[in-house]
C-alpha cells in the first residue's frame, strides 16, 4: 500500500473512532465526581455517628457546657463537699481552698493562669455571685465561691464531650474521633474509587496492549479491538494502520526473499544444461583424440563443432554464474528491453542445437514468416532464453530420437512450441507439471539416471507469467489414441 492509501486508511479509521465513544475527559470527570460523592458520604456518615452518640446519651453536645454553666455552678456552690467527680465532663476545672491554694485541677498553661485569676476574684466576691466570662477561642469561664469555703472555676469549650468520665479519661474527644473516622473513611473511599478507575481504564486500554504485544510478536493478521473511549479508539486506529502497513511491508519482504531464493534455485538448476553440453562434447573430443587413427575430414568437422559447443556452453555457464552472483546480492536480473520476436526465436534455436547434439537427438525448427514481420516487444531476452532452454532440455531428456521447436504468431502473441517423440506427460504432470518441486511424472523416465528437482518447468512458467503469458503442457495423440510425444507451449503477449 502506498503512503497516500495508508494515510487515507488512517484518516478513515480515526474518523470512525471519533464518531463513536465518549471523550476521555468525561471518563476522568466521572471518577472525580465519584470521589467527591464518596468523600461526602463518608463525612455525613461520621457526623451521623456523632449525632447518634449524642442522641443516645453517650456524648454531650458541644453547646451544653456554655449553656448550662450557671445552673451547674449554682448546684455545685451548695455542695457539702466539692470533688472532681462531682463536676460534669463538659467542664475542666480549678478548685481552690479559702486561702487560694489549688486543691484540684485539670487545667494547664494559659487556661490555668486565667482560671486562677477568676478564682481569686470569686473568693473576694459575694458568696452568691457567679461570674461568667469568655476566655477567647470558644472558652467560657464560670467562677464562684463555695459555701463551705474556697472557690471553683469551670472552664467549658464549645466541643462535644463524653458523658461518662471513664470514657472521657480513656478516649479522645468525640469530635476528634469523628475527624479521624472522616479522614480514614475518605482515604478508603478514594482508594476504592482509584482501584475501580484503574481497573476500568486498564480494561479500556487492554485492546491497545494486546495489539502491541501481537504486533511485537509479528502476528499481524488480526483485527485491532475497539473501546467506548474516543481517544483510545484514535490510538487503536493508528495502530491498526501501522499493523496493516507493517503486514504489507513484511509480506513484500518475504515475497522478495522467496523470489530471490526461487531465482537462485532456478539459476542453479539451469546450470545443468550448459554443463551437460560441456561434459558430452568434452567426452566426444577426448574419445576422438584418444583414437589411434588420424581423424578424417568429417571427424575434424565434428570435433570442431563439439569445440564450438563447448565454447558456447562455457559462455552460457559464465552468464548464469554472473546472474547467480547478482541474485545472491539481491540484485534484480530481469530487465525488459525492445526485442525482435524473430531474433529471440533464432537465439533460442541456436542455444537448443548444442543441447540436442550432446544427447544425440535430432533437432528440427521452424519459424513462420509472420514472426519475422512482428514489431519489437518489451521482453527480457535472457529470462525467456533460459525458459525455452528448460523446455528444450526437458524435451531432449525424454525424447526417443527427435525434438521440434516451432515459432509462430497467434492473436497478437508469440507462441513457442517445443515437442518431443517421447512417452508424453502423465495425467499428474499435465495438471501439476509447472508447479514448483513437482517431480512425480512416472511416465517420463529420465535418461542417464539424472535426478530431477521440479524446477525446470516451474522456472519456465514463472518467466512466462512475468511477461503476462503462460505455459501449457499437452500430449500429441494419433488417430488411435496412442501417445506420440509431449508438447510444451509458451505463449507471450507482444502488446503488453
Neighbours of 152 (CB within 10 A): 27
In the three-class reduction of DSSP (H, G, I as helix; E, B as strand; rest coil), residue 136 is classed as: strand
pLDDT in tens, the chain (496 residues): 444 444 444 444 444 444 467 888 888 898 899 999 999 999 999 999 999 999 998 999 988 999 999 999 988 988 878 888 889 989 999 999 988 899 999 999 999 999 999 999 998 877 678 899 987 888 999 999 988 888 999 999 988 999 888 888 899 999 999 999 999 999 999 999 999 988 888 888 888 888 888 888 878 888 888 888 888 888 888 888 888 888 888 787 777 677 666 666 665 656 666 666 666 666 666 666 666 565 555 566 666 666 666 666 565 565 556 555 555 555 454 578 899 999 999 988 988 888 888 788 999 999 999 998 889 999 988 888 888 988 998 898 889 999 999 999 998 899 999 999 999 988 888 888 888 767 665 545 454 545 555 567 888 888 899 889 999 999 999 888 888 999 999 999 988 5
In the three-class reduction of DSSP (H, G, I as helix; E, B as strand; rest coil), residue 1 is classed as: coil
Closest to 389 (Cα-Cα) out of 267, 265, 285: 267
Cell of 30: 466521572
Measured CA to CA, the distance from residue 76 to residue 83 in angstroms comes to 10
Task: Indicate if the alpha-carbon torsion angle 11, 15, 21, 26 is positive or negative.
Answer: positive
Closest to 243 (Cα-Cα) out of 217, 278, 205, 270: 217
Closest to 194 (Cα-Cα) out of 38, 43, 25, 23: 38
Measured CA to CA, the distance from residue 308 to residue 149 in angstroms comes to 150
H or E stretch covering 139 = strand 139-145
Measured CA to CA, the distance from residue 185 to residue 43 in angstroms comes to 8
List pLDDT tens digits, range 311-340.
665 655 655 565 555 555 554 545 788 999
List pLDDT tens digits, range 38-47.
999 999 999 9
Contact 233, 227 (CB under 8 A): yes
Amino acid at each position: 500500500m502506498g503512503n497516500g492509501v495508508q494515510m487515507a486508511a488512517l484518516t478513515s479509521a480515526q474518523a470512525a473512532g471519533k464518531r463513536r465513544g465518549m471523550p476521555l475527559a468525561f471518563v476522568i470527570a466521572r471518577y472525580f465526581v465519584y470521589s467527591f460523592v464518596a468523600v461526602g458520604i463518608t463525612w455525613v456518615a461520621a457526623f451521623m455517628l456523632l449525632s447518634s452518640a449524642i442522641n443516645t446519651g453517650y456524648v454531650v453536645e458541644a453547646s451544653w457546657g456554655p449553656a448550662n454553666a450557671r445552673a451547674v455552678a449554682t448546684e455545685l456552690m451548695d455542695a457539702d463537699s466539692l470533688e472532681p467527680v462531682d463536676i460534669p465532663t463538659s467542664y475542666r476545672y480549678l478548685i481552690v481552698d479559702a486561702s487560694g491554694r489549688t486543691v484540684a485541677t485539670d487545667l494547664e498553661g494559659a487556661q490555668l493562669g486565667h482560671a486562677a485569676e477568676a478564682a481569686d476574684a470569686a473568693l473576694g466576691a459575694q458568696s452568691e455571685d457567679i461570674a461568667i466570662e469568655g476566655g477567647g477561642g470558644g472558652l467560657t469561664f464560670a467562677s464562684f465561691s463555695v459555701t463551705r469555703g474556697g472557690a471553683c472555676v469551670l472552664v467549658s469549650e464549645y466541643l462535644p464531650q463524653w458523658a461518662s468520665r471513664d470514657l472521657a479519661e480513656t478516649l479522645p474527644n468525640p469530635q476528634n474521633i469523628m475527624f479521624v473516622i472522616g479522614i480514614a473513611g475518605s482515604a478508603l473511599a478514594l482508594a476504592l474509587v482509584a482501584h475501580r478507575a484503574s481497573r476500568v481504564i486498564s480494561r479500556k486500554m487492554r485492546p491497545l496492549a494486546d495489539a502491541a504485544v501481537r504486533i511485537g510478536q509479528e502476528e499481524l493478521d488480526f483485527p485491532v479491538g475497539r473501546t467506548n473511549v474516543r481517544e483510545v479508539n484514535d490510538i487503536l486506529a493508528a495502530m491498526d494502520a501501522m499493523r496493516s502497513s507493517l503486514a504489507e511491508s513484511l509480506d513484500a519482504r518475504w515475497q522478495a526473499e522467496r523470489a530471490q531464493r526461487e531465482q537462485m534455485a532456478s539459476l542453479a538448476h539451469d546450470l545443468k544444461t550448459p554443463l551437460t553440453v560441456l561434459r558430452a562434447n568434452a567426452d566426444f573430443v577426448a574419445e576422438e583424440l584418444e583414437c589411434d587413427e588420424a581423424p578424417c575430414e568429417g571427424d575434424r568437422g565434428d570435433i570442431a563443432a563439439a569445440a564450438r559447443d563447448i565454447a558456447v556452453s562455457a559462455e552460457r555457464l559464465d552468464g548464469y554464474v554472473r546472474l547467480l552472483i547478482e541474485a545472491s546480492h539481491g540484485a534484480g536480473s530481469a530487465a525488459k528491453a525492445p526485442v525482435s520476436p524473430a531474433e529471440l526465436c533464432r537465439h533460442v534455436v541456436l542455444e537448443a542445437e548444442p543441447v540436442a547434439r550432446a544427447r544425440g537427438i535430432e533437432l528440427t525448427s521452424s519459424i513462420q514468416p509472420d514472426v519475422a514481420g512482428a514489431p519489437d516487444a518489451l521482453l527480457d531476452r535472457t529470462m525467456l532464453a533460459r525458459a525455452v532452454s528448460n523446455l528444450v532440455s526437458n524435451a531432449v531428456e525424454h525424447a526417443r530420437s527427435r525434438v521440434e521447436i516451432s515459432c509462430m504468431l497467434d492473436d497478437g502473441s508469440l507462441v513457442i512450441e517445443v515437442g518431443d517423440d517421447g512417452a508424453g506427460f502423465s495425467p499428474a504432470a499435465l495438471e501439476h507439471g509447472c508447479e514448483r518441486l513437482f517431480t512425480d511424472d512416472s511416465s517420463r523416465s529420465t535418461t542417464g539416471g539424472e535426478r530431477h528437482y521440479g524446477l525446470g518447468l516451474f522456472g519456465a512458467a514463472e518467466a512466462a507469467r512475468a511477461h503476462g503469458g503462460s505455459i501449457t503442457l499437452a500430449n500429441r495423440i494419433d488417430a488411435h489414441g496412442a501417445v506420440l510425444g509431449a508438447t510444451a507451449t509458451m505463449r507471450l503477449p507482444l502488446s503488453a
